[in-house]
Amino acid sequence: MIRLFTIPLIVTLATAVPALSQQADTAEPEADRAETAATENTPSQAETSDNLSQRAAQSQREVGADWPFWGGDAQATRYSPLDQIQPQNVGQLEKVFTFHTGDMPEGSAEGKYSPEVTPLKIGSDLIMCSAMNILISVDAATGEENWRFDPGVSNDAIPYGATCRGVSVYTDPEAPEDAPCATRVIEGTLDARLVAVDLATGSPCADFGDNGSVDLWQGIGERVPGWYAVTAPAAIVRGIVVTGAQVKDGQAEDAPSGVIRGYDAVTGELAWAWDLAAPEQNRNGPAEGEVYTRGTPNMWTTAVADEALGYVYLPMGNSSVDYYGSNRTEAENEYATSLVALDATTGEEVWHFQTVRHDVWDYDLGSQATLLDYQGTPAVLLPSKQGDIYILNRETGAPLTPVGELSDLPKGEIEPDFISDTQPFSEWHTLRKPPLEEKDMWGFTPIDQLWCRIQFRMANYDGFFTPPSSDKPWIQYPGYNGGSDWGSVAVDTERGIIVANYNDVPNYNRLVPRDEVTSKPINEQEAASDGGAKAEGAADPQAGAPYGINVNAGWRNDVTGVPCTRPPYGGIRAIDLATGETLWDRPLGTARRNGPFGIPSMLPFDIGTPNNGGSVVTAGGLVFIAAATDNLFRAIDIETGETLWSTVLPAGGQANPITYEVDGRQYVMVTAMGHHFMETPVGDEVIAWALPQQ
């Protein structure tokens, strides 16, 4: 049975006033009194929250000539109505400009760059962030720089990777159009700040927080650089900036909280906090000397918002220790790996839908959900890392497509009382492939294939949801990097087609007994972590749990470096939105840059590589996508799956592309900046293509 809860949507002022009165009774530290006096003429938090809850829905910018949201439109469909570039002429695309951000790794940032950025296009400008959060505006037609603002993030703030996927834009409906920061760019940073700058000039917005910056460490606890960072663009709904943060995986049970917070997009004041373990107690922030509940599931990826409903949809991760769960609280178990709908005007939960019960596989939700109409019902489409695709009622969370129940699942010997013996799965569509068999083991020669067969026999593997083990490794399939990850899916709402790229690789894992763990959690390390040089979960300490974890991501042969399972390792699929049936499915990525011992084979064959970064679909009938480790940017016919055009990027294209229009000319763009985890070359290029001008 899927857990599904509905909470009344309306929060009365009567619930807010007592909480604020309680705050007023709290002794005010001397140091804070001067600040309080200085701001006594500003609205109280009660007044701010009340005003925010009464804000009307605003009209949303439309995708087309612009690309105003990270997901294209406000619904995150990644569908563009532009149709100038079509299957018949896409082969004529020519490069229009290349812009260099100039942000390249230096010093301790070497080996940690994974920018993943997708620019916005607003009016005549492209707005983007670099790996280290430098905000940049360039002319969308020429690539000439308009302005840049460097918030000064230092290398020690890099968590697992230096990533800034994008920014958000908000227009104050009450500000004169030509007022400074009437339209502002808002960015979350690796050192846990919200930064707001003027869209036109890049100057900090003086009215937002402390001269354009809000400190997200407030209420989190001791500052440990790299442990708490923002890597995804915020969702903005009803004038509230909603953000979570990445909490570096696998460090300790006593990790920073996964609290979700909403801030006034104009003033930067805290509007509400959703601490899943103390939602009422910490609604207005923790009491003096307290912090948000530590170790709770976080949201490191991107939310989507329904402005009309005033709801925001949060793809949640799991608890701070991914691979051991017996010490988790009931609240953690309730919300981990769930899509949570909050009323963004109050921060109260509306519903949640859990995709994995008692997750000990790091199957956190990485994809941004997509809003759409499904058979006449406002819906939200949710892809998951284990490959399942769900469609839920946007208002209630009730499934609109069939959800089945796996039962009698293996429970293992580590924590059999904790492992759930049932799990939900989508009966409508899944990207997940059949279970592995020994014959699926693979290698370039009979010798390394035999070695992988031996590894298969040495591991615990009982299909999907094989529980973690310590006596010997266990095979996790699919691995934590997919199904569907942060690149999310694109939906051609006119043709009724979902386009989903995916990974199809297992992980080869082992729980490491505490007395064998040699690594230290990030808060006990003397210098910045070198975790960027290895995969997530590789020798993570999981302090506080009886086991550390060692993950062989992609289950690669230790000698040759190639996967132990046969290709393809990633693909792209078109799915009929009406029926859930596969229209076409093909490998994504050639072998040109992959080979044994890290030597590029230069073979043009479509073997299907791991891929990170999503696609854009257009009214012209094309799918544009990079993502794969072959450094190709390609255009695919959405009707047939055939690649119609491709070009070699100067670095890895692990980012979502966009398309836009300037003066009647359609452009398509992707950033080529590489990715340390995907082992693609690092760069700083932003590249745009268009058809030749007539």
Which of the residues are catalytic? 362
Residues 6+ apart with CB under 8 A from 155: 106, 107, 108, 109, 528
**3-class DSSP string for 303-344:** CEEECCCCEEEEECCCCCCCCCCCCCCHHHHHHCCEEEEEEC
Q: How far is CA 34 from the centre of its chain?
A: 40
Tokens found for residue 116: 């993943």
Helices 13-25 and 45-53, axial angle in degrees (round to 10): 160
Q: In what order do the strands lie in the sheet with 658-662?
A: 94-100, 685-690, 665-672, 658-662
Residue 467 · residue 357 · CB < 8 Å = no
Tokens found for residue 174: 């009450």
Q: What is the largest CA-CA distance in the chain?
A: 77
CA distance 67 to 123: 9
Tokens found for residue 287: 């009491």
In eight-state DSSP terms, residue 49 is H
383: closest CA among 5, 676, 69, 76?
A: 76
Residues 6+ apart with CB under 8 A from 496: 576, 577, 578
CA distance 121 to 127: 6
CA distance 1 to 424: 8
Tokens found for residue 549: 């974890």
Tokens found for residue 641: 């799956």
Alpha carbon distance, N-terminus to C-terminus of the chain: 60
Tokens found for residue 327: 């010490």
668: closest CA among 74, 103, 71, 80?
A: 80
Q: In what order do the strands lie in the sheet with 507-513?
A: 474-476, 507-513, 547-553, 538-540
CA distance 368 to 370: 7
Across-strand partners of 31? Answer: none
**3-class DSSP string for 77-134:** CCEECCCCCCCCCHHHCEEEEEEECCCCCCHHHCCCECCCCCCEEECCEEEEECCCCC
Across-strand partners of 637? Answer: 622
Residue 385 · residue 478 · CB < 8 Å = yes
CA distance 247 to 319: 10
